[in-house]
Structure 1
Amino acid sequence: MSFMSSLSLANNKNRTATWALIGAAALILSAAMGVRQTFGLFIGPFSFDRGLPVTLIAFAIALHNLVWGFAQPFAGAAADRYGAAPVVATGAATFAAGLALAAAATSGWMLVLGLGLLVGIGISCTSFGVVLATVGRVASPQTRSVAMGLASAGGSLGQVLMVPFAQELRVHAGVAASLYGLAFVLLLAAPLGIVLDRASRQRTHAPADGTHEEHAQPASMPLRETLAYATRHRGYRLLTLGFFTCGFQLAFIATHLPGYLMLCHMPVGLGATALALIGLFNMIGSWGCGWLGGRLRQHHVLAWLYLIRGGAIALFVLLPTTTVSVVAFAAVMGLTWLGTVPLTNGLIAKVFGTRHLGTLFGVVFLSHQLGSFLGAWLGGYVFDTTGSYSLIWGATAIAGLVAALLHFPIDDRPVTEASLVSA
């Protein structure tokens, strides 16, 4: 067999393994992120049917964001070391157990333990820090941003499907049946981590196009030295601070948009429709942001994304609330929803390499989840104390401008191993 024939066969094998990896990643993210997207649908039923205060329910949802953030670096490190299969399986089972406990909850502490603690641990093992980090390690530098964008876009399918699925189950069979159904979906996703690891092993180390890495990456540096340098890197700190805004905005909207629309006397079910539309347009946005990140400087794309999101929030609050404005708002939010994730992952990989990508992204993601905690909890607290969401809507809009100003000056030059050693 000639050299060219061997190279073509290897490239075909690489492409097949990469597509299998992207498919498995998309299915895992569909289950995890799709189920999470439904939580806002349960605030009203838990409050009215079980007599729990909105603040407590919002705290449980906020807590899972906080636990997710603190657990993410550890989940990412475990996947970096042991592979995705055991981490994803453990996370999916824990996530399902948390939903089952919430379904049976008769008191506030059961809801907080299930929907807060267990769901937070479970989602840290089945979301971006584990799944997209695996994709980032396998894809070549030239295709990394696009590959992660495709996985994120495929994962958005779950956001489109899970919201109406949960809504229909809740309406016709009750809250408990709906949560049990979502738990079953997560158990179906548990074995898919095996596909991630198998595709990673099948994929040869050389990129499919025969090129090499664009720069010398710190592949041999221990985690402690890499992490210590990253925390001193100005761009890494700015990225971490900016990602706080993403979590704050998304958690508030996902948790409280249905309740806000009810206060505005919008049609029943419009909140669920808006969340599903966000998931639908997120498919386009995630792929589009990944595509742009492969052609433009990723931190510039992130900055413009935050500006657009902040402007859309401001217009939505200032203009009259109608069905058309809700649909338009959901579309814009979807286009800018999770496109930040492949861009942020890709930027970290570009600057620091991919060996410790799961851990380095996990640290940045902790900031995201601190913002998520505040967005979800403060939304409930502000509403309970003022009877309105106006203050928190204003904060989410202003946060978009702040995040953009943090991202524009990021230094995205790759860090070499020599830089780490001399630091």
Structure 2
Amino acid sequence: MSSATPLQNPPRLSALQVLACGAFIVTLSMGIRHGFGLWLQPITQAQGWTRETFSFALAIQNLSWGVFGIFAGMAADRFGAFRVLIGGAVAYALGLAGMALSTTSTTFALTTGVLIGAAQAGTTYAVIYGVIGRQIPAEKRSWAMGVAAAAGSFGQFLMVPVEGWLISQFGWQQALLFLGAAVLLIMPLALGLREPGFAGGAPAQREQTIAQALREAFRYRSFQLLMAGYFVCGFQVVFIGVHMPSYLKDNGLSPQVASYALALIGLFNVIGTYAAGVLGQRMAKRHILAFIYFARAAVIAIFLIAPLSPMSVYVFSAVMGLLWLSTIPPTNAVVAQIFGVAHMSMLGGFIFFSHQIGSFMGVWLGGVLYDQTGSYNIVWYLAIALGVFAGLVNLPVRETPIARAPQRVGAAA
């Protein structure tokens, strides 16, 4: 067999190797991005920019992540995750350096927004979950996805305090340059995710072409409902992650409270995402998703009604942490369960694109409406209403494998 011929029955990587390397990569990539809200006030004050300028760059970042996530997923499905991860790590380092050194709002939007967003597409869930889907047996897949999502949450718990410490000790610019060097650790970790089925970079054999897989998915009602729910997930978590530090400071609480709050979200999300992955092996994933979205709406409403204090912030952060990224394992497991794993990274990329449109709206509206009204109240209320909507649309999702007629690869639809 030549090196250009795909392996028919490639050996699997060990589950421990996949989970260890995948978890460390997600920990680093997600951990860094979760702390970006800590830079809002230092950067806007140093550069004389409005919060909308910073928020718009972060909104572009989330949209860029969603757009490039589709193509990163396609590339990972076709050529394996290794090459995508290497490119993503380099782009991440360059983007963080650009975030530190940009002197105009345009270059800030291009580096912090477009470049870091593209880097995140190549170093986070869509790519890692594709490897998990191909390398971990179906009976353990939801659990394994929970482990990977929990790693991203641990990254938030670990990295946000570190980022706050770096800013306080070295200044916001030097802190970003340190993180740019640290993110290159993804490159050696990617070696552990070189899949044997992609010998010579050749694609594995599939029953469907990309076009056939996309037509099938976008015509399927449950796929549309999952995308709608994921839009809400992005709106809520990115608005809270980016704007809550400033919301707390505006209300007289110290920056340390915000750092501890974001860290608590990350710590408790380790529990929440792992639990969601485990429960996904035992009960209907649509029920898990509906509960998460309904619970988020209730928790935000109680947070706004209760008197604001450090203790109320910590309780809110802990409970919200249980619900934070716990949507990820059941959502991706449903996609694999319905459509199979051959195009999982790509389909996961499209689902995540919807998430990132929501992220764009949440972070951007937070900045725009704050500048116009001097308050985040309208966006908080939107987050509550959207949580109820997302809970409702996930209830009718069908989780059974799709009935698929035999077809030749490349045949006309």
Report the TM-score range of the alignment, normalised by the length of the smaller protein.
over 0.9
Identity in percent:
39
Query: Is 2:383 the partner of 1:396?
Result: yes
Which among 282, 290, 309 is matched to residue 277 of structure 2? 290
Q: Distance in 2 between matches of 1:200 and 1:254?
A: 38
Query: Is 2:399 the partner of 1:412?
Result: yes
Q: Look up the SS of the partner of 2:269 in the other structure.
A: helix
Tell me the equivalent position of 1:19: 16
Q: Distance in 1 between matches of 2:280 and 2:407?
A: 25
Q: Is the Cα contact below 8 Å between 2:277 and 2:329 reproduced in 1?
A: yes
Deviations 1:102-154 (Å, cap 9, x if unpaired)?
10111111211111010010000001110112112211111100011011112
TM-fit CA distance, 1:172: 1.3
Computed over aligned residues only, the root mean square deviation of the Cα atoms, in angstroms, reads 1.9
Query: Is 2:317 the partner of 1:326?
Result: no
Query: Is 2:334 the partner of 1:359?
Result: no
Query: Is 2:194 the partner of 1:197?
Result: yes
Which among 35, 56, 65 is matched to residue 62 of structure 2? 65
Q: Distance in 2 between matches of 1:24 and 1:348?
A: 23
TM-fit CA distance, 1:189: 1.3
Q: Distance in 1 between matches of 2:60 and 2:331?
A: 23
Q: Distance in 1 between matches of 2:291 and 2:407?
A: 31
Q: Look up the SS of the partner of 1:192 in the other structure.
A: helix
Q: Distance in 1 between matches of 2:196 and 2:50?
A: 46
Q: Is the Cα contact below 8 Å between 1:95 and 1:118 reproduced in 2?
A: yes
Amino acid at match of 1:101: G
Q: Look up the SS of the partner of 2:367 in the other structure.
A: helix
Tell me the equivalent position of 1:120: 117
Q: Distance in 1 between matches of 2:346 and 2:95?
A: 24
Aligned runs of 1:211-360 on 2, under 5 Å? 219-360=206-347
Report which stretch shifted further, 246-255 or 329-338: 329-338
* Structure 1 unmatched ranges of 5 or more: 1-12, 203-217
Aligned runs of 1:39-50 on 2, under 5 Å? 39-50=36-47
Q: Is the Cα contact below 8 Å between 1:221 and 1:417 reproduced in 2?
A: no
Deviations 1:266-294 (Å, cap 9, x if unpaired)?
13311111111111111111100000111
Which among 144, 148, 158 is matched to residue 145 of structure 2? 148
Q: Distance in 2 between matches of 1:199 and 1:377?
A: 42
Amino acid at match of 2:290: A
After superposition, the Cα gap between the structure-2 partners of 1:316 and 1:74, relative to the gap in structure 1 and judged at 3 Å, is: same
Q: Look up the SS of the partner of 2:405 in the other structure.
A: helix
Query: Is 2:366 the partner of 1:369?
Result: no
Q: Is the Cα contact below 8 Å between 1:226 and 1:420 reproduced in 2?
A: no
TM-fit CA distance, 1:343: 1.0
Q: Distance in 2 between matches of 1:66 and 1:313?
A: 24
Tell me the equivalent position of 1:133: 130
Q: Distance in 2 between matches of 1:305 and 1:199?
A: 37
Q: Look up the SS of the partner of 2:363 in the other structure.
A: helix
Q: Is the Cα contact below 8 Å between 2:147 and 2:277 reproduced in 1?
A: yes
Q: Is the Cα contact below 8 Å between 2:296 and 2:387 reproduced in 1?
A: yes
Which among 103, 107, 110 is matched to residue 106 of structure 1? 103
Q: Look up the SS of the partner of 1:317 in the other structure.
A: helix
Q: Distance in 2 between matches of 1:267 and 1:349?
A: 44
Which among 84, 88, 113 is matched to residue 87 of structure 1? 84
TM-fit CA distance, 1:227: 1.1
Q: Distance in 2 between matches of 1:419 and 1:31?
A: 42
Q: Look up the SS of the partner of 2:45 in the other structure.
A: helix
Q: Distance in 1 between matches of 2:303 and 2:197?
A: 43
Q: Look up the SS of the partner of 1:106 in the other structure.
A: coil
Tell me the equivalent position of 2:178: 181
Q: Distance in 1 between matches of 2:192 and 2:333?
A: 22
TM-fit CA distance, 1:200: 7.4
TM-fit CA distance, 1:335: 0.7
Q: Is the Cα contact below 8 Å between 1:84 and 1:194 reproduced in 2?
A: no
Amino acid at match of 1:351: I
Amino acid at match of 1:112: A
Q: Distance in 2 between matches of 1:29 and 1:116?
A: 19
Q: Is the Cα contact below 8 Å between 1:350 and 1:412 reproduced in 2?
A: yes
Q: Distance in 1 between matches of 2:127 and 2:267?
A: 23
TM-fit CA distance, 1:199: 7.8
Q: Look up the SS of the partner of 2:138 in the other structure.
A: coil
TM-score, normalization: structure 1?
0.90
TM-score, normalization: structure 2?
0.92
Deviations 1:20-50 (Å, cap 9, x if unpaired)?
1001111110111001001100000011122
Q: Is the Cα contact below 8 Å between 2:80 and 2:198 reproduced in 1?
A: no
Q: Is the Cα contact below 8 Å between 2:303 and 2:316 reproduced in 1?
A: yes
Q: Is the Cα contact below 8 Å between 1:133 and 1:345 reproduced in 2?
A: no
Tell me the equivalent position of 1:3: none
Which among 164, 170, 175 is matched to residue 167 of structure 1? 164
Q: Is the Cα contact below 8 Å between 2:245 and 2:255 reproduced in 1?
A: no
